[in-house]
Amino acid sequence: MAKAQIKKSPPVLENKKARFQYEIMETVEAGIVLTGTEVKSLREGGGNLADSYALPRGGELFLVNLRIQPYQNAGAFNHAEDRTRKLLLKRSEIARFESRIKEKRLTMIPLKLYFNEKGLVKVLLGLGRGKKIADRRESEKKREADREMARALRNHG
């Protein structure tokens, strides 16, 4: 029998403000430990990545402030909406990121949460430094200039 092909789905959750508020230097894909009701709720699109971040603790990496809405059909066996969830990375990667976070004062921010081709939930984490207000304004000016240029090219040609 042939295996059923699982199509890669678009991101379930995406943190669109993260790339605007942080200068992302490096990204890494990590697994995440979830309960069954959390996975079912994510399949329905119930969650929020805003204000969440990864925190190293005791040689492990945890995702804090990820909100996954309660699953409607779970009844009394539902999950806590904003519990801290463990991230799955190799021990060497965790040690490398932990040292960079402490020494260089960087932050790990979840950029996307999605299902991979095997149907497992993955998190795309970005290691970055928070932008200052002037840097954000500069990014906004650059984006606006690019839009103007694209508009002019479209109208001219």
Residue-wise pLDDT for 36-83, tens only, equals 888 888 888 778 888 888 888 888 899 998 888 887 777 777 776 778
Q: Indicate the SS3 state at residue 112.
A: strand
Q: Indicate the SS3 state at residue 48.
A: strand
State the CATH architecture for 13-130: Beta Barrel (2.40)
Q: Which residue has the tokens 């990864």?
A: 54
pTM above 0.85, yes or no: no
Are 63 and 30 a contacting pair, CB within 8 Å? no
Lowest mean pLDDT among 98-102, 119-123, 124-128, 132-136: 132-136
How far is Cα 11 from Cα 77, in angstroms, rounded to an integer? 26
How far is Cα 4 from Cα 7, in angstroms, rounded to an integer? 10
Q: Which residue has the tokens 């109208």?
A: 155
Please report the pLDDT score of residue 128 as a whole number: 87
Share the mean pLDDT of the chain: 83
Please report the pLDDT score of residue 62 as a whole number: 92
How far is Cα 42 from Cα 17, in angstroms, rounded to an integer? 20
**Over residues 15-23, mean pLDDT:** 83
